[in-house]
Structure 1
Amino acid sequence: MAASVPLPPDDEPGQHRPGLRERKKLRTRTAIREAAYRLIDEQGYETTTVEQIAAAAEVSPSTVFRYFPVKEDIVLADEFGPLVAAAVRARPAGEPPLEAVRAVLREAVGTILADRPEESARRGRLLLEIPAVRARMTETMAETSLPLARAVADRTGREESDLEVLVFTASVLAALREVTLHWAGHGRKDDPAALVDRALDTLRDGLN
């Protein structure tokens, strides 16, 4: 996903904006991602190096690694985990955890596809074609699951280390991974929100 992240203009009244430092970081991350996708489109993933990406983004290789520890993270890393966890916390009290997560994920995938369709398509293609990208996605799920596990634990009155909480969050993220791969592997024709429903219904009902 390589579309620019829109930032509000400095003189827009009543608009809450991140601080200058955060805006600069966001622009740097976006520049690195855009450069990476441009080079990957031109010459392929395997032959694109971090040094080339850094040069195209007009930053140093050390800056790239500061934002993205490995090359695969450039096409995978985002702030998805904390944002989803915050949205789950904001859902109505008493809503079952699975339904809270369902509502958040449906909205999230719809927003991502609406705002960054080309980036979503590129990411999906790389997930299908590059084993290292798929492996890194699975590896980083452990980090993504932590904020979600805390949010689920708070909603249910459990400890985030409870087996049930860990199984629930791991299952939800695994379902989301399969939704992503299914969507990409079937020509990106299906509605991702509907695929989220199908995946979470399977977690709820089993293979009935």
Structure 2
Amino acid sequence: MTGLRELKKARTKAEIQRQAVRLFADQGYAETTMEQIAAAAEVSPSTVFRYFATKEDLVAFGDFAPLIELFQSQPAQLPPLAALRVAFRTAFASHTSPELLDSQLALVVAVPELWAASLATITARMDLLATAIAHRTGDDADSAEVRTITGAALGVFLAVAFAKRRQPKLDIAAALDESFALLANSDHADRTTAGEPPVD
């Protein structure tokens, strides 16, 4: 019974979020009320607030921990950028609703209120990623190398999100994979030029 109850809660939460993103896209973020979202999801407003305290929470990117775990689980011989590429690709492939994630990313960069509300979350996730990269490379989390790799990863993510805003049909997962492949190949070339052994 506990498992069924949790499954029902997860489905309700996902449907509320799906309807919210649809309404935001159709009629605008500012123009959409929590009451309208509740009606579209066929739940009460109190149910919406039980899962999402604010409208901003409705388009939050979700839990970042699984991506970090995927990154940490990659083979030790993979350079950080190559490991990040695999982690992002796997995370998108296993996401229960990729189209919802695509819409969330496009909305966050398009709506000033959402962008402002996301800054604290983005900063916290940069710190988590920097710590994970530092653990892989053996460097300090505040080192230039870790800072650069973290910044490159975030830059790719944001660049693809902005591109999605301009190109609604863009496949975010494929675009991210392509960008991380370019970065990973660049890192591979730099290591080879420097005399370091190449990583397959």
Q: What is the TM-score normalised by the length of structure 1?
A: 0.67
> Residue 77 of structure 1 aligns to a residue in which SS?
coil
Question: 1:89 is matched with which residue?
Answer: 72
Where in structure 2 are the equivalents of 1:140-179 lying within 5 Å? 140-160=121-141, 162=143, 164-179=145-160
Residues 122-131 or 177-186, more deviating:
122-131
- Deviation string 1:27-54 (CA, Å, 9 cap, x unpaired) is 3421320231343355332111224324
| Aligned equivalent of 1:103, options 81, 86, 97 | 86
Query: Superposed, which structure 2 residues align to 1:126-145 within 5 Å?
Result: 126-127=107-108, 129-145=110-126
Asked if structure 2 preserves the Cα contact closer than 8 Å seen for 1:127 and 1:181, the reply is no
TM-superposed CA distance for 1:102, in Å, is: 2.0
Give me the CA root mean square deviation. 3.5
When structure 1 is superposed on structure 2, of 196-205 and 181-190 the one drifting more is 196-205
2:7 counterpart (10, 23, 35)? 23
The answer (yes or no) to whether the contact 1:179–1:199 under 8 Å persists in 2 is: no
Contact 1:148–1:169 (8 Å) recurs in 2? yes
TM-score by length of 2: 0.69
Structure 1: segments with no counterpart, 5+ residues = 1-9, 11-17
Question: Structure 2 vs 1, CA of residues 59 and 167 (structure 1 numbering), >3 Å: closer, same or farther?
Answer: farther
Q: How does 1:1-208 map to 2 (within 5 A)?
A: 19=3, 22-57=6-41, 58-61=43-46, 64-65=48-49, 67-79=51-63, 81-109=64-92, 112=95, 116-127=97-108, 129-160=110-141, 162=143, 164-189=145-170, 191-192=174-175, 193-198=177-182
Mark the runs of 5 or more structure 2 residues left unpaired by the alignment.
191-200
> CA distance change for structure 1 residues 30 and 151 in 2, over 3 Å: closer, same or farther?
same
2: CA distance between counterparts of 1:77 and 1:198?
Answer: 24
Q: Provide closer, same or farther for how the CA distance between residues 202 and 42 of structure 1 changes in structure 2, counting only shifts above 3 A.
A: same
Distance between the aligned counterparts of 2:61 and 2:100, measured in 1?
12
Deviation at 1:152?
Answer: 1.7
How much has 1:120 moved relative to structure 2? 4.3
Larger radius of gyration: 2
| 1:97 Cα deviation after fit | 1.3
The offset of 1:173, in angstroms, is 1.8
Q: Deviations for 1:53-106, whole angstroms, at most 9, x for unmatched residues?
A: 245442444x54554443123123312x21110001110013211211122223
In structure 2, C-alpha distance between the alignment counterparts of 1:203 and 1:141, rounded to whole Å = 24
Which moved further from structure 2: 159-168 or 141-150? Answer: 159-168
Q: Which residue of 2 aligns with 1:4?
A: none
2: CA distance, partners of 1:194 / 1:49: 37
